Amino acid sequence: MAYTPFDLTGKVALVTGGNRGIGLGMAEALAASNADVVLWCRNAASADEAVAKLKTLGTGDATAFSVDVSDEQSVVDGMALTNAWKGRLDTVIANAGVSARGIPFIQQDTQTYRDVLSVNLDGAYWTLREAAKVMVERAKDGDPGGSLMVTASMAAVEGAARNQAYAATKGGVISMVKATAVELARYGIRANSILPGWIATDMTSNAQGDDKFEENVIKRVPVRRWGKPEDFGGIAVYLASDASSFHTGDTLLVDGGYSIF
């Protein structure tokens, strides 16, 4: 018998902030593995191109909804729409995030701190909570299972100068995921954190091409390059698939070996 645990046919996956960067890299791999994929972004029209591409990658469907994860009611309403789209929800990736990197700690203002927390920590909390409600209810109806993921960051486990608010949120979501993994395991629901290293996305655009940064940081990456959004496709598919049915509460570094060198 063929071993096909990575075929996601019939599974529905949600990726917040999935219209670009790491989120899009994960969404594309999920779609190519035949999942039905939902993207959340503040303006669904901005995801039209991404949705069109996702529909060509596998046998599944794709759509996008306008959801502001920093607004609790928007998340509640968005999760209801997402669950109603195909009548189920199997995988949720809380990926939407912002950064305020580059401002010295003693110059950072409280509003910026609150803005980062509202997206990265509050948004992840509300997204996972509302997804858990859907998955627990399905389990009580005799259909257990589900995979929850959060895009954390290497900044959660290593010093991130001038990035205290961002680092705090990413450390926070790791703890949130561990608690969730323990509590929801009885329903067959898994929860894991993905920790990217230095990835070439809009968030790191200021550092890309900077000779000093490339020399001092990227040359320290054992793989000797920037990470790419597509580097996260495999881990997303694995955690969404039945192959990871006994894998929960973990923090998975995807950093080209940077953190151990």
pLDDT in tens, 14-66: 999 999 999 999 999 999 999 999 999 999 999 999 999 999 999 999 999 99
Would 139 be classed as within a structural domain? yes
Residue 199 CB partners (closer than 8 Å, separation 6+) = 21, 22, 226, 227, 228, 229, 231
Would 43 be classed as within a structural domain? yes
Residue 206 has pLDDT above 90, yes or no: no
Please give the Cα distance from 187 to 221 (Å, whole number).
Answer: 39
Instruction: Tell me if 191 sits within 8 A of 184, measured CB to CB.
Output: yes
pLDDT in tens, 153-185: 999 999 989 999 999 999 999 999 999 999 999
How much is the average pLDDT of 242-256? 97
Please give the Cα distance from 198 to 228 (Å, whole number).
Answer: 9
Quote the strand ranges of 34-118, DSSP E.
36-41, 62-66, 91-94
CA torsion through residues 53, 6, 248, 183, sign: positive
Residue 2 has pLDDT above 90, yes or no: no
Would 2 be classed as within a structural domain? no
Would 160 be classed as within a structural domain? yes
Would 168 be classed as within a structural domain? yes
Instruction: Tell me if 91 sits within 8 A of 147, measured CB to CB.
Output: yes
Crossing angle of helices 48-57 and 21-32, rounded to 10°: 30
Residue 136: give the domain boundaries.
12-254
pLDDT, mean over the chain: 96
Q: How confident is the model at residue 101 (pLDDT cuts 50, 70, 90)?
A: confident
Instruction: Tell me if 80 sits within 8 A of 131, measured CB to CB.
Output: no
Active site annotation includes 166: yes
Share of the chain above pLDDT 70, in %: 100
Q: Catalytic residue among 170, 193, 244, 258, which?
A: 170
**Total number of domains in the chain:** 1
pLDDT in tens, 66-89: 999 999 999 999 999 999 999 999
Would 218 be classed as within a structural domain? yes
Q: Which one is predicted more confidently, 122 or 204?
A: 122
The amino acid present at 102, given as its one-letter code, is: G
DSSP-derived 3-state class of residue 108: coil
Active site annotation includes 170: yes
Q: Catalytic residue among 125, 166, 238, 258, which?
A: 166
How much is the average pLDDT of 202-213? 88
Would 152 be classed as within a structural domain? yes
pTM of the entire predicted model: 0.96
Residue 196 has pLDDT above 80, yes or no: yes
pLDDT in tens, 104-115: 999 999 999 999
CATH number of domain containing 193: 3.40.50.720
Please give the Cα distance from 99 to 21 (Å, whole number).
Answer: 14
Residue 215 has pLDDT above 80, yes or no: yes
Would 131 be classed as within a structural domain? yes
Give residue 83's pLDDT.
Answer: 98
Instruction: Tell me if 218 sits within 8 A of 161, measured CB to CB.
Output: no
Sheet holding 12-16, edge to edge: 62-66, 36-41, 12-16, 91-94, 146-151, 189-196, 251-254
Q: Catalytic residue among 33, 99, 153, 244, which?
A: 153
Give residue 1's pLDDT.
Answer: 78
